[in-house]
Each structure stands twice: as C-alpha cells, then as structure tokens.
Amino acid sequence: MAGSTHTVTNQAPPLVGYDVFNADRALVDAVRRHLDPGLADEVTGELTALGRTSGSAQVQEWGVLANDNPPQLRTHDRYGHRVDEVEFHPAWHRLLGKGVSAGLTAAWNRPAGHLRRAAAFVVWTQVEAGNGCPLSMTHAAVPALRADPALAAEWEPRLTSVIYDREPRPAQDKAGVLFGMAMTEKQGGSDVRANTTAARPLAEDGTYELTGHKWFCSAPMSDGFLVLAQAPGGPTCFLVPRVLADGTRNVFLLQRLKDKLGNRSNASAEVEFDGTWARRVGEEGRGVRTIIEMVAATRLDCVLGSAGLMRQAVAQAVHHCAYREVFGRKLVDQPLMRNVLADLAIESEAATTLAVRLAAAYDDGGEQERALLRLAVPAAKYWVTKRCAPVAVEAAECLGGNGYVEESGLPRLVRESPLNSIWEGAGNVQALDVLRALRREPGALDAYLREVGQARGADHRLDGAIKNLLTELADLDGVEGRARRLAERLALVLQGSLLVRYAPPEVADAFCASRLGGDGGAAFGTLPHTLDLASVVERARPVA
C-alpha cells in the first residue's frame, strides 16, 4: 500500500500539556511538608498555575526558540554611537516576563516566600534554564543591598516586583528591575581578592568611578549590577546602574559575549569600566563579605536548578519508557530498565527533598536554621550539582538514539547539566567552604547533627553512615586533601536522613541501600534487585 512505510508506531507522544508541579510527587510532598496549613491552598494554587503554564506546548516552544536563537551583541548603532546592548529573541523576553510575574524575584517579603519561590524555580527551570540566571541574580541582590539600608529602601521594592520592564531607563522610572553581577577577572577567577578593577572616590557620599575589565558579567542587560573593585580601603562592593538618574547611559562597555557549552539563551559578557559611576554598598574593604550574601543565595539556586534539570530528565526518560515497547513489553516493565529508571528517580527525589528543606530554612530564619545553612548549602551545592550531569546523560541513554537528537530536548539538558557545578564557585570552592564552616562556626556542625539525628534509629544503614561521618570529622589531619569526600558524605547523610523521615519506604530503602549501605554500583541501574523498584518508578512518572 502506498505510504505504508511512513506509518508511525511505537513512539511516545511529546511530554506537553501537563502540570509540571503536580506531576512531581516529591516536590508536592516537600512543599506541603514545610508549609503552614493556612497558606496551603494559596501556595499550591499558585504553583499549580505555574505548573500548567510550564507544561504547555506554547511555553515549551518558547524554551526551544530562546535556545535556537541565542543573544547577539550590538556595541554600536548605525551612526557609530556606542549602545552596548544585547539583543534577544522575543521568546526570551516572554520567558523572563513569565518568571518575574510568577514571583521568582519576590521571595523576601512574602509569607513562606523562599519555599514557594524554590518550588517555582524547580518547576520553571524545567522549561528553560537560561532565564534562571537574571531571575536568580535579582533575587539574590536583596540581602547584599541590605548592607546599606538607604540603598535597600530605594531598590528592594523594584527588585521584588512582579513587573518585567525590559526598557533601558533610569531605575526610579521603572516599576520593576533586574540585577546582574560582575566579580571575576582574568587573573583571579575564584580568588576575587586578586581583582585589579580600581575604584576612585568621587565624593563623601559613597560615589566612586570604576576602571577595569570583568571577565564574567552575568545578565549584562540588567538595570543594575553588584561589582567588586579595589577601593583605597581594599576590596569593596559597588552598585553600578546601567542607566544613570539623568537618563544617560553609564559607561558599561560590552567587549564580547561568551560562547558557552550550554545556557545558550542567556548572555554572559566581558565588560570594561572606564570612569564608570558606582555607589558603594557597605564598608570599604568588606566587599567580599557584603557580596557573599548574594553568592549564598545564588548557590542555593544552583541546587534548585540542578534539582529541576534532574527532574525533567527523569520525567522524559520515564515518560518515554512507559510508551516504548521492545521485545513485546513496555520498557518501563523490563527489570533492567526499571532498575535504571528507579536509580535516576531516587537521585532526583533526594535532590529535590534536600533543596526544598534548605529553602524552608531561609524562611524560618532562626539561629539554628542559619547555622544549618552555613554548612548544608555548600555541601548540597557541591554534591547535588555534581550529580546533575550523570543523571542527564543516563536519562538521554534511556531514549536510545532518540535521546541524542536535538528534537528530544535531552541534548539541551545534557549541555546545561554541568553549569550549576561551575557557577558560583566550582566543586573545590564549595568543599573548602565546608571546611571553613566546620573550623570557624562550631554551631553549624551542631545544627547539622541535630538535623540528621532526627532520623537516628530508623534505618541501620543511615545510623552506620552517621557513625562513619563522625569518625571522619574527629580526625581533621590533612583534611583539605579529602574535603570533597567530606562534603559528599555530609550531603548524602543529610539526604538519607530526610528521605528516611519523609519519603515513601521504597524510596528511602533504595537510597540507604545504594548510597549509604554500599549495595549499589558506580553506574545507574545497579540497585539491589530485591527492592520495590516498580513503586519508585511509578512515583516518578509525570502524570497529573
């Protein structure tokens, strides 16, 4: 029969037209667990609306278009005037506008603001991860600006707005603004104290002019930037507006955009300052301490972003295998594939559960929760972001050759997956930060041990892992060389304790057996065959 060779069978339908939030049982459970019952309907309703938007075919297409049409640098207009602008595809602006209106920059002054934003960030990352950069930077600028109450009073209402205004105008004329950040330089990298950008005081009112070259500037089309520079008193934090109060452009010379492995919808730039007007934030010489407030918040976003990427990778893999039939059976029903899917699902749920727990600690704000964050955030940032890339690659393999084709969406997830491990301090930086917390803040370890101790006695493998961790902590000789090992164990024990307390028994059992009890291999799909893997996979299936 003519055309019979083109009959399409045994293909999974596209994963669109679904509720990304409610399809993620681990995320829904985590949100409800930490949420005041009086806010439950409001918050879950808000997240359900975002979940439906995120799963729609139209919004998914915006994510594709934003990545297929990366930003372009335009340094001059047709007459030769410098304009230093980055042009984005309209899909980028639609995505960014949706993210702002969904409250992804509005956590600081809302009830359960960090919890609801964290869940929204996990959901929204699954649409398109690149626009998470300006959303994250804007959110994280708030605690840094609070070092100067006058600046905070001026800028915070606009930073936490749900209005997206893309036009380059003076901030006082806008209802909402976005922020970027410029810390690193060619010669310094993570050693920001080696920066050479110079800040010269202009007056006694905290105004300066900056001269220097920044190797990485995040979100270069933002309305303002937090910048580190060398003032007479040492490294200092500054606020650099893109447009000055009189409507003229500040000196913000974009030299080039970085050609990145992933995150291609988002612009990352090199920028030169040459007499650039800036306002000091905090005291001279305390710039690293000031801007670290921003970095701490963006590091949690790296954990949340990786959790979102892992969840989308697992959702795509389980969805495909639930439809694809091989040798007379659905892939999801075949023992070996089921083992792989369950292993991926456990990794994803552990990441989500930990990330949301840390966000809830921000809302609590108590002394013990702050101490827990000091140790748990760098440990989680180290471990969860490290696990993202192998999860994305294995999920792509679950689709076979289809997973290597751009139209499947998996290659974009694979390219994006290493980013959060590198961003805001790579693995060694996080591991060393764990050591600093242990050495300088004994309350951080006490808070951590109280947290994991709540699960003691519930699983013998977790109890053994806690005991081994205490042994490791008791001997800190030569600890720098094993800082990664220590950060990994801190994260795994914390994940295990949360899953034992809150996850379904089959999930906690599989995690403790494979991650804490040694009954698992180095690759995914090596879980003990005696576990209830079918229930684990079914829990991860994106049906809502």
- Looking at the structure, do residues 111 and 258 belong to the same domain, yes or no? yes
Q: Is 319 found in the same domain as 262?
A: no
Query: Contact at 8 Å (CB) between 84 and 251?
Result: no
pLDDT at residue 544, rounded to an integer: 62
Task: Give the per-residue pLDDT at 471.
Answer: 94
For residue 206, CA distances in Å to 196, 199, 200, 230 come to 20, 11, 10, 14
Same-domain check for residues 367 and 469: yes
CA–CA distance, 54 with 538 (Å, rounded to integer): 22
CA separation, residue 159 to residues 99, 104, 108, 241, 526 (Å):
13, 10, 10, 13, 46
pLDDT of residue 112: 96
pLDDT for the residue numbered 3: 60
Clarify whether residues 266 and 180 are in a common domain: yes
Q: Average pLDDT over the chain, rounded to whole?
A: 95
Q: What is the pLDDT along the chain (544 residues), one digit of tens a residue?
A: 556 778 889 999 999 999 999 999 999 999 999 999 999 999 999 999 999 999 999 999 999 999 999 999 999 999 999 999 999 999 999 999 999 999 999 999 899 999 999 999 999 999 999 999 999 999 999 999 999 999 999 999 999 999 999 999 999 999 999 999 998 898 877 777 888 999 999 988 999 999 999 999 999 999 999 999 999 999 999 999 999 999 999 999 999 999 999 999 999 999 999 999 999 999 999 998 888 888 888 999 999 999 999 999 999 999 999 999 999 999 999 999 999 999 999 999 999 999 999 999 999 989 999 999 999 999 999 999 999 999 999 999 999 999 999 999 999 999 999 999 999 899 999 999 999 999 999 899 999 999 999 999 999 999 999 999 999 999 888 899 999 999 999 999 999 999 999 999 999 999 999 999 999 999 999 999 999 999 999 999 998 6
3-class state of residue 27 by DSSP = helix
Contact yes or no for 362/114 (Cβ under 8 A): yes
Question: Is 48 part of a structural domain of the chain?
Answer: yes
pLDDT per position as a tens digit, 66-102: 999 999 999 999 999 999 999 999 999 999 999 999 9
Do 277 and 249 touch, CB atoms closer than 8 A? Answer: no
CA dist 226 and 248 (Å) reads 19
Same domain, 172 and 229: yes
Query: Rounded to an integer, what distance in angstroms lies between the CA atom of residue 96 and that of residue 313?
Result: 22
Model confidence pTM above 0.75: yes
* CATH number of the domain bearing residue 480: 1.20.140.10
Which of 304, 302, 96, 123 has the alpha carbon at shortest distance from 219? 96
Domain end: 285, 310, 339, which one? 285
Instruction: From 256, 285, 314, give the residue that closes a domain.
Output: 285
Give pLDDT tens digits for 202-251: 988 999 999 999 999 999 999 999 999 999 999 999 999 999 999 999 99
Q: What CATH number is attached to the domain comprising 203?
A: 2.40.110.20
For residue 492, what are its two tokens? 């795994």
In DSSP notation, 472-493 reads HHH--TTGGGGHHHHHHHHHHH
Name the nearest CA neighbour of 377 among 286, 444, 452: 444
Which of 262, 285, 308 corresponds to the end of one domain? 285
Task: Say yes or no: 187 and 293 in one domain.
Answer: no
| Residue matched to tokens 């003990």 | 528
Q: Is residue 28 part of a domain?
A: no
Side-chain-facing half-sphere of 218: CA atoms under 13 Å: 26
The answer to whether residue 15 is domain-embedded is no
Residue 409 lies in a domain: yes
CA angle 19, 22, 24 (to 5 degrees): 105
In Å, how far from its chain's centre is CA 83? 31
CB 154 within 8 A of CB 243: no
Same domain, 294 and 280: no
Structural domain boundaries enclosing 252: 39-285
Do 219 and 117 fall into the same domain? yes
> Using one digit for the tens of pLDDT, what is the confidence trace for 334-383?
999 999 999 999 999 999 999 999 999 999 989 999 999 999 999 999 99
Instruction: Indicate whether 260 and 341 sit together in one domain.
Output: no
* Structural domain count of the chain: 2
Q: What angle do CA 133, 399, 427 make, to 5 degrees?
A: 40
Shared domain check, 110 and 239: yes
Residue 377 is encoded by which pair of tokens?
A: 């955030």
Q: Is there a single domain that holds both residue 346 and residue 399?
A: yes
Any domain includes 489: yes
Angle (CA) 292 297 299, round 5° = 90
- In this structure, are 322 and 396 located in the same domain? yes
The DSSP line for 476-536 is -TTGGGGHHHHHHHHHHHHHHHHHHHHS-HHHHHHHIIIIISS-S-SSSS-S-TTS-HHHH
With respect to residue 123, please indicate whether it lies within any of the assigned structural domains.
Answer: yes
User: Is 78 within a domain?
Assistant: yes
Residue whose entry in the numeric block shows the structure tokens 């389980």:
318
Q: Is residue 426 part of a domain?
A: yes
pLDDT of residue 407: 94
